[in-house]
Chains A and B, each alone.
Chain A
Amino acid sequence: MSTREQIIKKLAPKEFNTLGVIWVALLSIVSLAGIIAYIDQIRRGLEVTNLRDYAIWGVYISNFVFFVATSFVGAFTASILRLSQKKWRTPLVRIAEMVAVAAIAMAGVAIILDMGRPDRIPYLFMYPRLQSPIAWDIIIITIYLAFSVMLLYIPNIPDFAILKTFYKDKPFLSKVYGFLAINWTGSAKQIKIHQKSIKVIAVSMIPLALILQSVDAWLFSTTYRIGWDSTNLGPYFISGALVAGIGALITAIYMVRRFNHLEEFITDKHFDKLGRLLVFACLVYLYFNMNEYLIPAFKSTQGEAEHLQELFFGQYSLMFWFAIGGGLILPSILLMFRKMRKPFPMFIIAILVVVTSWWKRYIIVSPALLHPFMPIQGVPEEWSHYFPSLHEWLITGGTLALCILIITIFVRFIPVVPIQRTLDEMEITATENDKN
């Protein structure tokens, strides 16, 4: 049985080792390249992209959808697992929230990257039109971001108080933690308010998250486009978000556990549970994929038939089957075996799931635009295809790197595994030096 001090020492954020520094430097370079590419895009306009009048949305939008989907994991672990009273969630909740905050923040950035006139963002608030799905999106992303930040911050208050004491020999750090701890003493009254606040936020997160994913789907399904004009799109996006989110969570948890040496707290049992969850998510998503692709294929109306032909056998078939086969079917089969639900195999599978989730969004956004009702004529031949340009890749890579960088910085300064809650659950009561 460890003592309180030992546990705090184990769970307190760790300074970067050499590998950590290299990691941060690498992410910073990729982010910087993205920022430079974006500055060039602002200077020269969106003509630096390969987007044109038919492929009007591309990798920026699919990347945006990916970030929105990934942010779902915060609400899922923090709220749904909470309501279902799954005790094993404790060491996973914090990191899920970090992933969620980073992802939803980058979703907000990603949508701006796609705008032709980012200098006119204030117009969205000066001349808002509420019937536009973009207005809904702005409203829900803002609210979800605010709630995600609260859900990351508020449960952390007791831990910040602990860290304030722990870093006594580092005055600045201690001061910052002290500021963040907003005079937390751990009194019964405070605990009561604290618990209540967390509960209110956590419960609110569920409808917010469902609305967020649905609005994201409605951005597409409110149009007439073949491939988007589907009543299935809401639940399809929600279940897809669960897959992407859990995939991202497993990846993050594996890396954090490995580099912060948290094997004692994040055990094989947690991976096993997450593996089962991932199978569940994949199967649900697979079901909605069947609705989305097989039923229209059965009817094969003219437009749908062309669109699905491209996806199943045409130029997108490789990506499409990679996303369906590699990202959904294979993981659900593999993870049914206990051996595969060990940390390392899970890590590999989770990376596969995240990568295919990203490509899946690309498949949802891009091909639909290239099958308009009217023929594509009177434009250069290359306008009827789309593949992102170097600028688009650099900028997209930059957003992904920035997202991981944000998570890394969170991990550096915020305890990944909740300290106070772990202590409570291990029934280690406060010692005298807790009160200060």
Chain B
Amino acid sequence: MEDKSKNSRRSFLDKSLKLGLLGVVGGVVATKLVDATAQEGDTVRVLTQDGKVMEVDSNAVKDIQHSHESEDYNVREGFPGRKFVMVVDLAKCKNALKCVDVCHKEHHVHTPNAWLKVFKMKDNENSSPYWMPMFCQHCDKPACVTVCPVDATFKRRDGIVLIDNERCIGCRFCMAACPYNVRIFNWGEPVQPGIEKDHHGTPEFGGKPSVIGTVDKCDFCPHAIAKGELPHCVAACPTGVYYFGDLYEDTVTNGEETVKFSKLIKDRAGYRLYETMGTSPSVYYLPPVDRLVEFEDSDYSYEQVKHVPIPTEEKE
């Protein structure tokens, strides 16, 4: 544990020093995680290291130049000096399925091959039910990667677990190993109308297009991150369930608000799924307390998600 925190701090300091950020704002870290700048005239709101929001002159803030824009970027290594985390606020989820919708559209997948599903959960008979978005947990100790015989699925330094579907032999051991059951297999020829064929199945694009006889899963949208955007599900959620960010910067954002990751997890008692298994996921959940919406007591059914349309329109 100690080693890890040291590491992240070193990496954080290293980067910060390089960019001269600390010197400029005097102990204030810019909130702009992935270009989520809130430019309001001459001042800009930033988050201090101790978690306070303050307004400073916009001239005093410099954009973080992430080193992934440099040429040493490697698909299997990831964005240097970064460690992505996701926080899912279960209190806010109302099963709007916008995340599923946009995920399908952007990744050209469709039900039942969804990379992102919203589960109806009920932990025990006395507790109340809640909706839980479920997708790849991008574990730090991924069971799927350990068992892959050909290095088709791999974990990058930025914490993203990806699949090279030009390498995958389709043995499905990773699917057997994954305790979260988030992996999808292309049993037949994938139906993907309107898919761009140009970026051809590089792991960077998380197996896009899908390849018959290989495994797919949530890729944490590295293609969006590379463009300085949030993963599609984060951006699409109407209630701001998803927070995405960089562990080294200790900030996560849901597109509307940007918060300090460590404080959020501490204050809201964030947890990870099946912590006891030692997989060390990068996805944190906030317990479904004080929920935004009352849980509709309608039964969960497959029909609900089945009608999320097969994307036919071309990508933008």
Is there an interface contact between B187 and A45, defined as CB atoms closer than 8 Å?
Answer: yes
Question: Does B149 contact A224, Cβ atoms closer than 8 Å?
Answer: no
The answer on a CB contact under 8 Å between A375 and B121 is: yes
The one of A53, A114, A223, A373 that contacts B274, using a Cβ cutoff of 8 Å: A373
In this assembly, does B27 line the interface, its C-beta being within 8 Å of a C-beta of chain A?
no
* Complex contacts, B180 vs chain A, CB 8 Å: 373-374
Within 8 A of B (CB), among A117-133: 117, 120-121, 123-124, 126-129, 131-133
Q: Which 3 A-B pairs have the closest CB atoms?
A: A116-B170, A116-B213, A47-B188
B152-203 residues with Cβ-Cβ distance < 8 A to A are 152, 167-173, 175-177, 179-181, 183-189
- B residues near A222, Cβ cutoff 8 Å: 147, 177
Closest A residue to B124 by beta carbon equals A302
| Known A-B contacts A123-B150, A131-B146, A373-B181; A45 and B189 likewise in contact (beta carbons under 8 Å) | yes
B181 & A372 in contact (Cβ 8 Å cutoff): yes
B85 at interface, CB cutoff 8 A: no
> 6 additional contacts, CB 8 Å, given A116-B169, A128-B149?
A47-B188, A117-B214, A223-B143, A223-B176, A377-B117, A380-B112
A413 within 8 Å of B by Cβ?
A: no
**Structural contact, B179 and A53, CB atoms closer than 8 A:** no
| A-side contacts of B150, CB under 8 Å | 120, 123-124, 126-129
Whether a CB of chain B sits under 8 angstroms from the CB of A316 is no
Contacts of B19 in A (CB 8 A): none
Contact with B along A359-396 (1 / 0, CB 8 A): 00000000001001111011111010000000000000
A382 to chain B, nearest CB (A): 10
13 A-B contacts (beta carbon < 8 Å)? A45-B186, A53-B113, A57-B172, A116-B168, A116-B186, A124-B149, A124-B169, A126-B150, A131-B146, A222-B177, A224-B179, A380-B112, A380-B302
Contact of B169 among A51, A123, A131 (CB under 8 A): A123
- Docked-complex contact B181 and A115, CB < 8 angstroms: no
**In the complex, which residue of chain A has the Cβ closest to the Cβ of B146?**
A131
Q: Is A89 part of the contact surface with B, judged by Cβ < 8 Å?
A: no
Interface-centre pick from B143, B167, B173, B183 (highest chain A CB count, 10 A): B173
Q: Tell me whether A115 and B169 are in contact (CB under 8 A).
A: yes
**Assembled-state Cα–Cα distance A116/B119 (Å):** 28
- Evaluate contact between B300 and A377: CB separation under 8 angstroms: yes
Chain B residues whose CB sits within 8 angstroms of the CB of A51 once the complex forms: 187
Write the A275-310 contact mask toward B (1 if CB under 8 angstroms, else 0). 000000000000000000000000000000000000
* Chain B CB within 10 Å, residue with most, of A49, A117, A121, A224: A117
Which chain B positions have C-beta within 8 A of A211? Answer: none
Task: Tell me the minimal C-beta distance from B281 to chain A in angstroms.
Answer: 13
A78 to B: closest C-beta gap in Å: 30
Asked if A378 contacts B117 (CB within 8 A), the reply is yes
User: B residues engaging A (CB < 8 A)?
Assistant: 111-114, 117-121, 134, 143, 146-152, 167-173, 175-177, 179-181, 183-189, 212-214, 274, 277, 300, 302, 305
A170 within 8 Å of B by Cβ? no
Q: Is the CB of A127 within 8 A of B167?
A: yes
B113 CB contacts on chain A under 8 angstroms: 53
Q: A44-B188, A56-B185, A116-B213 are in contact. Are A132 and B173 (CB under 8 A)?
A: yes
* Least CB distance, B13 to chain A, in whole angstroms: 33
List residues of chain A with CB within 8 A of the CB of B277: 224
Does A46 interact with chain B (Cβ within 8 Å)? yes
* Chain B residues near A135 (CB-CB < 8 A): 149
The listed residue (B147, B172, B186, B302) touching A379 by CB distance below 8 A is B302
Cβ of A225 < 8 Å from any Cβ of B? Answer: yes
Q: Which of A257-278 contact B (CB under 8 A)?
A: none
Q: A46-B187, A373-B179, A378-B118 are in contact. Are A120 and B151 (CB under 8 A)?
A: no
Chain B nearest CB, measured from A58 CB (Å):
11
Known: A116-B169, A223-B177. A383 touches B213 (CB 8 A): no
Assembly CA distance A138 to B169 (angstroms): 14
Q: Please tell me if the beta carbons of A53 and B184 are within 8 angstroms of each other in the complex.
A: yes
B134–A374 CB distance below 8 A: yes
Taking the closest CB of chain A, its distance from the CB of B117, in whole angstroms, is 4
B167 CB contacts on chain A under 8 angstroms? 120, 123, 127
Whole-angstrom CA separation of A374 from B213 in the bound complex: 24
Instruction: Say whether, besides A124-B149, A379-B112, A224 and B177 are in contact (CB < 8 Å).
Output: yes
In the complex, whether A54 has a CB less than 8 A from a CB of chain B is yes
Q: Is A134 an interface residue (CB 8 A)?
A: yes
Partner of B185, one of A53, A129, A381: A53
User: Does A52 make an interface contact (CB < 8 A)?
Assistant: yes
Contacts of A53 in B (CB 8 A): 112-113, 175, 181, 183-185
Expressed in whole angstroms, the Cα–Cα distance for A141 and B179 within the complex equals 28
> Contacting B168 at CB < 8 Å: which of A52, A117, A374?
A117
A133 touches B147 (CB 8 A): yes
Q: Could you tell me the distance in whole angstroms from the C-beta of B243 to the nearest C-beta in chain A?
A: 21
Residue of B nearest to A126 (CB): B150
Q: A127-B150, A224-B179 are in contact. Are A116 and B214 (CB under 8 A)?
A: yes
Min Cβ gap A427→B in Å is 53
CA distance A379 to B117 in the complex (A): 9
Contacts of A127 in B (CB 8 A): 150-151, 167
Q: What's the nearest-Cβ distance from chain A to residue B28, in Å?
A: 41
A383 CA to B111 CA, complexed, in Å: 13
Contact for A375 among B119, B169, B177, B184, CB less than 8 A: B119
For B152, what are the chain A residues with a Cβ–Cβ distance below 8 Å? 123
Q: How far is the CA of A383 from the CA of B143 in the complex (A)?
A: 23
Interface string of A117-160 (1 = CB under 8 A from B): 10011011011110111110010000000000000000000000
Residues of the A chain whose Cβ atoms lie less than 8 Å from the Cβ of B114: 378
The CA-CA distance from A54 to B213 in the complex, in Å, is: 15
C-alpha spacing A138/B149, complex, angstroms: 10
Hey, which chain B residues are within 8 Å of A138, CB to CB? 149
Q: CA separation between A121 and B169, bound complex, in Å?
A: 7
